[in-house]
A = this chain, B = another copy of it.
């Protein structure tokens, strides 16, 4: 593991300043982590549920940070494919947690998946799988 929880949060603050206020790494281990979506009025839809693009951002940042935790801070890694299933409306006023797994870490492609939960509820709100292209060494 190249970056632990504190290193990942420091990377968010430094290199992703525009979204760092939204996310916080809770736990990180080999090939897996949990990312918390910090509550904010900006990503709520009427009725208090979290918007689809915010769920997408949560999964994308979470799987991306899982890759970086294993290979170090390569900010040029880019998402090439994303698939999501939106399964339940998250309850209003409850934090969302995204739990990731890194499934493949190749030389040019990495693949991970994630489940998003409302804190305290074991039924997943959404499922995501994402592929990232890793740039060649400079």
Contact = CB atoms under 8 A, between A and B. Distances in A.
Interface of A: 18, 45-46, 51-54, 56-57, 60, 78-89, 103-104, 106, 108-109, 111, 113, 115, 123-124, 127, 129, 131, 133
A60 to B, nearest CB: 6
Contact of A52 (B52, B79, B88, B89): B79
A51 B80 CA distance: 13
B103 A127 contact: yes
A34 to B, nearest CB: 18
A83 B86 contact: no
A82 B129 contact: no
Contacts of A129: 83, 85, 127, 129
Given A53-B60, A83-B83, 5 more contacts: A53-B56, A78-B89, A80-B86, A81-B83, A87-B104
Contacts of A111: 85, 87, 127
Contact of A103 (B18, B53, B85, B131): B85
Contact of A54 (B53, B85, B108): B53
B86 A103 contact: no
A6 B82 CA distance: 32
Contacts of A104: 85, 87-88, 123-124
